[in-house]
Amino acid sequence: MAEKKGKRKRLSRRQFIKGAGTAIAAAGVGGAILANGPRTETRAKEEKKRTPAQAGAVDVTLKVNGETHRLSLQPRVTLLDALRDRLELTGAKRICDRGTCGGCTVLMDGKPIYACLALAVDAQGGEITTVEGLGTPDAMSRLQKEFVEHDALMCGFCTPGFVVTVHAALKQNPNASMNEIREACRGNICRCGTFNRVFEAAYATAKQM
Ligand code: FES
Ligand code: FES
């Protein structure tokens, strides 16, 4: 028995994660097949007619970070998908995709909105600002620098949303107190629990303003 135990092959963490990922991917594909059932010929033909991503597309003009973009999009496309998938502005994150986490926050005419809840067609005519428009790695805004200095991120997925939200809050109220900063961030969630550091970074920026 002891010999058997000794012979048991031990998986490294990396092997385990790789294996689990493959299993999840496989389960996803299998699930899709099970959910959809076999593809009949008629159904395949119907899909063929519908599949072009541009079916029913309309012209959409978006002004993002000061640049005008002319796109052809289906009316159902969200602002978040247009930014990420068409304009390659991936700062705004798709996390919950249902207006609860704030990871997709962008500014519309200076006000924070959830880009996952806005349709791109409805965003026409507005000035959209994403986190990319607030600073770059080489030229960070004061707030972005404070995020770095306060180590206000762990996985970083929520960070762009927080930066945009705090930027808007401090623009409106440059002398914001800690409580006002907390209040302004109530629509953003950090699953890693770095809230306090985010608030400290924001407060440090407010004190300099
Ligand atoms: S992805 Fe938009 S609120 Fe979560
Ligand atoms: S740093 Fe990971 S979710 Fe906020």
Q: What pLDDT, on a 0 to 100 scale, did the predictor assign at position 55?
A: 85
Q: What pLDDT, on a 0 to 100 scale, did the predictor assign at position 45?
A: 55
Residues with CB under 6 A from ligand 2: 153-158, 190-192, 194
Query: Tell me: the pLDDT tens digits for 187-207?
Result: 999 999 999 999 999 999 999
3-state secondary structure of 95: coil
Q: What pLDDT, on a 0 to 100 scale, did the predictor assign at position 49?
A: 52
Residues with CB under 6 A from ligand 1: 94-97, 99-104, 114, 116
Sequence-distant (6+) residues with CB within 8 A of 81 are: 94, 120
Query: Tell me: the pLDDT tens digits for 158-182?
Result: 999 999 999 999 999 999 999 999 9
| CA 65–ligand 1 middle distance (angstroms) | 20
Q: What pLDDT, on a 0 to 100 scale, did the predictor assign at position 46?
A: 52
Q: What pLDDT, on a 0 to 100 scale, did the predictor assign at position 29?
A: 31
Instruction: Decide if pLDDT at 66 tops 90.
Output: yes
Q: What pLDDT, on a 0 to 100 scale, did the predictor assign at position 77?
A: 98
Q: What pLDDT, on a 0 to 100 scale, did the predictor assign at position 54?
A: 73
Q: In Å, how far from its chain's centre is CA 133?
A: 15
Residue with tokens 């998908």: 81
Sequence-distant (6+) residues with CB within 8 A of 66 are: 133
Best of 101, 158, 159 to mutate for ligand 1, by most ligand atoms within 8 A of CB? Answer: 101
Separation between Cα atoms, residue 105 and residue 186, nearest integer Å = 12
Q: In Å, how far from its chain's centre is CA 44?
A: 33
Of the pLDDT bands very low, low, confident and very high (cuts 50, 70, 90), residue 209 is: confident
Angle formed at CA 19 by CA 18 and CA 21, multiple of 5 degrees: 65
Q: What pLDDT, on a 0 to 100 scale, did the predictor assign at position 9?
A: 46
Sequence-distant (6+) residues with CB within 8 A of 152 are: 146, 159, 162, 194, 197, 198, 200, 201
Instruction: Decide if pLDDT at 75 tops 50.
Output: yes
| CA 104–ligand 1 middle distance (angstroms) | 5
CB 165 within 8 A of CB 187: yes
Q: What pLDDT, on a 0 to 100 scale, did the predictor assign at position 52?
A: 55
What 3 state SS string does 62-86 have?
EEECCEEEEEEECCCCEHHHHHHHH
Q: State the average pLDDT for the chain.
A: 83
Ligand 1, residue 104: give the atom nearest the CA.
2
Query: Tell me: the pLDDT tens digits for 9-64?
Result: 444 444 433 333 333 233 333 333 233 334 445 555 554 555 556 789 999 999 99
Please report the domains of the chain, with CATH numbers, ordered by start residue.
58-133 (3.10.20.30), 142-208 (1.10.150.120)
Query: Tell me: the pLDDT tens digits for 138-164?
Result: 999 999 999 999 999 999 999 999 999
Report the nearest-CA residue for atom 3 of ligand 1: 99
Best of 83, 97, 186 to mutate for ligand 1, by most ligand atoms within 8 A of CB? Answer: 97
Which numbered ligand comes closest to the C-alpha of 93? 1
